[in-house]
Amino acid sequence: MPADLQEKTDRYERMLADALDEAETRPPAETPLGVVAAECREMAESYLDDGRHFRDSGDPVNALASFSYGYGWLDAGVRMGLFAVPDETDLFTV
């Protein structure tokens, strides 16, 4: 595997995992927006798991795509106000 693909795949996995750790759900879970936030988080977590599976299976291209899609779900949730993130984070461009 080319070194740049390996580096990028590793970086995007770390970025998604760190973003999931930092993002806190804003709306209460029992509200419609709370349900949407939970679904966005679930999608991001599922893509993280999928990416790890693809990488372990020797498929770094689909691993990178999965990590990127997962991050996109979480980033969209941040932009819609579903998640709060620390002001000092460099993981999101809010």
Supply the pTM of this predicted model: 0.89
More confident residue, 2 or 90: 90
Task: Check pLDDT > 60 for residue 1.
Answer: no
**Mean pLDDT calculated for residue range 73-87:** 91
Task: Check pLDDT > 70 for residue 93.
Answer: no
Residue ranges of domains in the chain, CATH in brackets: 3-20+31-82 (1.20.1270.90)
More confident residue, 91 or 31: 31
Residue 2 pLDDT level (bands cut at 50, 70, 90): low
Cα–Cα dist 91/60, whole Å: 22
Cα–Cα dist 61/87, whole Å: 32
